[in-house]
Amino acid sequence: MFAQEKKPAPTLKSILLEQLKSTHNSEEWFVPANTAVEGLTPAQASWTDGKGNHSIGQLTNHLIFWDRRSLEKFNGVQPEKYSGNNDETFNSFDSKQWNATVQQLDKVLTDWEKAVEAADENKLKDWYSTIAHIGTHNAYHIGQIVYIRKEQGSWNPEKGVK
């Protein structure tokens, strides 16, 4: 009745890239990072609900920290010394640096896509679980960012979540 377009069989690389892009800038099943942080002022990025929850800026710093650290390991670079205290990955946010923070998030997500694109199948077989979890971790915190924006009244529902 309806002919389906035949697509090539997915590869490990294509699946991982699809996951990474869907949390970066490809609007598919949920809001990607670039859309989630788009148009926020430094004050909005710093806003908290007063109940001990993180701000959007803190969540963004946390994503940058873990994505960058994992990417360094993937690329064979020794990451900076880390205390092991995950709270520190949220708390270095500076609202004066918000625009640079947004650019850093976009850059590390782009760099991950480029690294996966350039990697051979053997490397991806060794790293697939970590890369898949990076995408899941990103999606989790992006959901928090959208929720915070809804709470503060800065979310435009036309961007994907009513």
**17-70 confidence digits (pLDDT tens):** 999 999 999 988 889 999 999 999 999 999 999 999 999 999 999 999 999 999
Q: What is the pLDDT of residue 5?
A: 72
Q: What is the pLDDT of residue 38?
A: 96
d(CA 58, CA 128): 27
| pTM for the full predicted model | 0.92
Give the chain's length.
Answer: 162
Q: What is the pLDDT of residue 4?
A: 65
Q: What is the pLDDT of residue 23?
A: 96
8 A C-beta contact, residue 59 and residue 144: yes
d(CA 63, CA 121): 26
pLDDT of 1 higher than 60: no
Mean pLDDT, residues 110-136: 97
3-state secondary structure of 153: coil
8 A C-beta contact, residue 54 and residue 144: yes
Cα distance from N-terminal residue to C-terminal residue, the chain: 35
d(CA 73, CA 91): 23
In the numeric block, which tokens belong to residue 50?
């007063």
Q: Provide the percentage of residues in the chain whose pLDDT is more than 90.
A: 85
In the numeric block, which tokens belong to residue 133?
């979890």
Give me the chain's average pLDDT, please.
94
* Lowest-pLDDT range of 55-59, 71-75, 141-145, 158-162: 158-162
